[in-house]
Amino acid sequence: MKGENRISGSAQPHILNKGEPMLALAAIGISLWMVFFNTPVENQMGIIQKIFYFHVPAAYVMYLSWATCTVASVMYIIKNTDKFDILARSSAEIALLFGIMVMTTGPLWGKKAWGAYWVWDPRLTSAMVLTLIILSYVILRHMSGGEVIKKFSAALSIAGAAMIPLIHISVKIWRGQHPSVLGSGGLAPEMRQTLIVCMTGFTIVFIVFLKKRYRLESLRRRGDELTRLYHINQMNKQ
C-alpha 233/C-alpha 140 separation (Å) is 31
Is 6 a member of any domain?
Answer: no
Is 11 a member of any domain?
Answer: no
Is 32 a member of any domain?
Answer: yes
Return the CATH number at 224: 1.20.120
pLDDT grade, residue 16 (50/70/90)? Answer: very low
Tell me what pLDDT residue 237 has: 74
Tell me what pLDDT residue 5 has: 44
With a threshold of 0.75, does the pTM exceed it? yes
The length of the chain, given as a count of residues: 238
Distance of CA 136 to the CA centre of its chain: 14
pLDDT grade, residue 225 (50/70/90)? Answer: confident
Tell me what pLDDT residue 12 has: 43
Who contacts 75 (Cβ-Cβ below 8 Å, separation ≥6)? 81, 84
- Bridge partners (DSSP) of residue 42 are 46
Tell me what pLDDT residue 112 has: 83
**Number of domains observed in the structure of the chain:** 1
Is 40 a member of any domain?
Answer: yes
Who contacts 12 (Cβ-Cβ below 8 Å, separation ≥6)? 218, 222
Tell me what pLDDT residue 2 has: 43
Is 5 a member of any domain?
Answer: no
Range of the domain at 212: 19-237
C-alpha 72/C-alpha 217 separation (Å) is 15
pLDDT digits (tens, 9 = 90+) for 154-209: 999 999 999 988 887 876 777 666 666 555 556 778 888 889 999 999 999 999 99
Higher pLDDT, 224 or 53: 53
Is 187 a member of any domain?
Answer: yes
pLDDT digits (tens, 9 = 90+) for 59-87: 999 999 999 999 999 999 999 999 999 99
Tell me what pLDDT residue 123 has: 83
Q: How many CA atoms lie within 13 A of 46 on its CB side?
A: 5
Is 8 a member of any domain?
Answer: no
pLDDT digits (tens, 9 = 90+) for 98-145: 999 999 998 888 888 788 888 888 888 899 999 999 999 999 998 876
Is 109 a member of any domain?
Answer: yes
**φ and ψ at residue 46, rounded to 5 degrees:** 75, -150
